[in-house]
Each structure stands twice: as C-alpha cells, then as structure tokens.
Amino acid sequence: MENFSLKLELRIDWSEIDLFGHVNNLSILQYIQSARVNYMEAIGLMPLNSEIKTGPILASTTCQFRKILFYPGNITVYSKVDLIKNTSFRILHEIRNDQDEISAEAHDIIVLYNFDKNSKLLISDQIKKKIEDLGNRQ
C-alpha cells in the first residue's frame, strides 16, 4: 500500500468471530496492537525498557470500523507515523480485507516514558531518524 511504512499480514481465526458471525471489534483492536508492536520493533523501541528502563507507552487509541470482517479470511494492517511531537508520536493503521477494502482505521498515540523517573522523555533524533528512514523505505 502506498505511503505506508510497514505492513503486517494476519489470518482471521475462527475464535475471533462473535455471536453475529463476524470478527469481533476486540479482535480488530488486537490486530492493531500487533501492528503497533510490529512498528515499535521496527524502529527499535521495544528493547529499551530492559536496557535503560525507558520505553513506549500507549497513551491513546481510536478506531473507526468501516467494513465487517468474516472468517475465513486474511487481513493486512498497514502502518505509518503521521505525526511526531516532542514526547509522542501518532501511528496511523489501516486494516484491509482480502478484497483490499478498508475495514478499519486506527490512530495510536505513543509516548516515550522513563519508568524510573515516572516522566515523559523527549523523542531522540535517533528515533526520529529511524521513523523517517522507515517511512522512506516504501
């Protein structure tokens, strides 16, 4: 998908279906969580906590459900950072079904955090560069 930094392909599992026969909204939020972690791994944020007691925290997530998903099937979650501030950045996710239709769109606000000091951290130039490099990889 154009303009997105990463894509994550996932299979819809039968256990994700609700009483109404479609993928439950909670499962869609789990797809977004997988994509969020995938993105943070790609820019090197995940190992920071064990190394220097800093790391990302999820400050906010929003999701707009556009089209119902069904089992069996596959989805692709496309992700990119579309906003960077001093201590946070926003990841845009787009979930597409097998027919390449948008099923959901989500935004995550990620804050860098120092767990020892219980305070926000400035996003380093190194992390900003990794985000930029990932965005330019398209």
Is 1 domain-assigned? no
Phi, psi of 100 (to 5 degrees): 65, 30
- What would the DSSP string read from start to end of the chain? -TT-SEEEEEEPPGGGB-TTSSB-HHHHHHHHHHHHHHHHHHTT-TTHHHHHSEEEEEEEEEEEE-S---SS-EEEEEEEEEEE-SSEEEEEEEEE-TTS-EEEEEEEEEEEEETTTTEE-PPPHHHHHHHHHHHHT-
Does the structure show a pLDDT above 80 at 43? yes
Number of structural domains (the chain) is 1
Domain residue limits at 66 = 6-136
Average pLDDT, the chain: 93
**CATH assignment at residue 26:** 3.10.129.10
5 phi/psi in degrees, rounded to 5: -80, -40
pLDDT at 36 (0 to 100):
97
Could you tell me if residue 124 is inside a domain? Answer: yes
The radius of gyration of the chain from alpha carbons, rounded to an integer in Å, stands at: 16
For residue 131, being part of any structural domain is answered with: yes
Name the pTM for this structure: 0.91
- 64: in domain: yes
Q: And the tokens for 125?
A: 């130039």
Asked if the structure places residue 89 within a domain, the reply is yes
Can you give the pLDDT at residue 76?
98
70 occurs within a structural domain: yes
In a domain, 97, yes or no: yes
